[in-house]
Amino acid sequence: MPTYEDRLQDLCDKYRSIFGQDAVLDPAVPDYQLLSVFAKALDDTSAYVLSAYNSRNPAYATGQALDLLLPLYGISRETGESDASVRGRMNAAVASRGIFTFDALAAALREIAGASHFLIRANDEDNAVDGIPAHTLAVLVQGGNANRIAEAIWNKKPPGIGTDGSLSRVVTDEKGQEHTVKFSRPGMLTVHFNITIKTYEGFSLDAVQPLIRAALMDLMNNKFEIGQELIVPQLYGLLYQAVGSYASTFAITDIVVSGNYGVSRDKVTPAWNQIFTMVSSTEAVIVIDNG
């Protein structure tokens, strides 16, 4: 699927082919902000297409789509059985075959209550890479019970492959032997937003501010993956979309993101083992500048 950035760049290129290559398109220009809304709509459509595609993947399929895949694993849904339960039996069937895939481990981690984000990296090299020892599996999990995470890693990882991380738990195998399994929690990068706007007739800070704050809280705490960079110009379209009909009552002239990594109007790139978090909605501050 084309990325949001690809779609926005394509729209900007087409805009310049119509209005001239010297047309100014930056985050403060209303036409650019409108193009970002279009790009976001196209990106959302891609997400629906991807969802339909993933319905053919047992790790993501639900309901009837999941039922259609179960015969491939020699099982069927029992009366009243939930998707999580039947997927757990499906994962057990896969595990019994001694097959390791990243998807199998990811599916096992996804079944752990409270495990919201995870990243799996295998270092196949003969030397350390990004701090991961040679021939070692590094698993990052945000949330979830540490013992269950260790058990999932042990049950899914290939024999003879070590694990790396800052946390460790002891797992007992079916023969009663104990094994130490390591994994890590991602480093948390807090974000603060300073959003400058110009207001027009009909604007209401009491109505707009909660919508913007809620959209940013959802984005930063639910939509970002471990290691994913934050591209600040993408926020313009998101925030206009979040406020609905109020979008015509103001113009965003500047968005500044700050935290313990510095200040940026462009993008913030975390380390591969870090993830963004927004602790409170009050971390989004709206500044009105009609001067």
Average pLDDT over residues 81-110: 75
Q: What's residue 58's pLDDT?
A: 75
Per-residue pLDDT tens digits for 219-239: 999 999 999 999 999 999 999
- Asked whether residue 203 falls in the same domain as residue 136, the answer is no
Rounded to 10 degrees, the C-alpha dihedral 226/229/233/237 comes to -20
Tokens 């985050």, residue located = 27
**What's the mean pLDDT in 197-222?**
96
Q: Do 192 and 282 lie in a common domain?
A: yes
Residue 132 lies in domain: 114-185
> Does one domain contain both 180 and 238?
no
What's the number of domains the chain is made of? 3
Whether residue 197 sits in one domain with residue 248: yes
Say whether both 219 and 283 belong to one domain.
yes
**Residue 75 pLDDT more than 80?**
no
**Domain co-membership, 203 together with 283:** yes
For residues 100-127, average pLDDT: 86
Instruction: Residue 257: count other Cβ atoms within 10 Å of its Cβ.
Output: 22
In a domain, 63, yes or no: no
Residues forming a β-bridge with 258:
192, 263
For residue 193, pLDDT beyond 70: yes
Q: Do 248 and 168 share a domain, yes or no?
A: no
pLDDT confidence of residue 62: 84
Is 224 among the domain residues? yes
Both 212 and 143 in a single domain? no
Q: Is residue 179 part of a domain?
A: yes
Kindly state whether residues 123 and 179 are assigned to the same domain: yes
* Mean pLDDT score of the chain: 89
pLDDT at 34 exceeding the cut of 50: yes
CA 158 – CA 169 distance, rounded (Å): 18
Res. 95: pLDDT tops 80? no
Whether 116 has a pLDDT exceeding 50, the answer reads yes
How confident is the model over 6-22, as a mean pLDDT? 92
Residue-level pLDDT at 55? 77
pLDDT of residue 111: 87
Residue 181 makes CB contacts below 8 A (sequence gap 6+) with 150, 151, 153, 154, 163, 168, 169, 170, 171
pLDDT at position 276 over 90: yes
Cα 291 from Cα 288, distance rounded (Å) = 9
Cα gap 113→290, rounded to integer Å: 48
* pLDDT for residue 73: 65
Do the Cβ atoms of 258 and 192 come closer than 8 Å?
Answer: yes
Average pLDDT over residues 255-265: 93
List, as one string, the DSSP characters of 217-259: HHIIIIIPPTTPPEETTHHHHHHHHHTGGGGGGEEEEEEEEEE
- By mean pLDDT, which of 103-107, 255-259, 285-289 is the weakest? 103-107
Please state, for a pLDDT cut of 70, what percent of the chain lies above it.
96
Distance CA 134, CA 119 (A): 18
256/224 same-domain check: yes
Looking at the fold, whether 157 and 212 belong to one and the same domain comes out as no
181 with 233, same domain: the answer is no
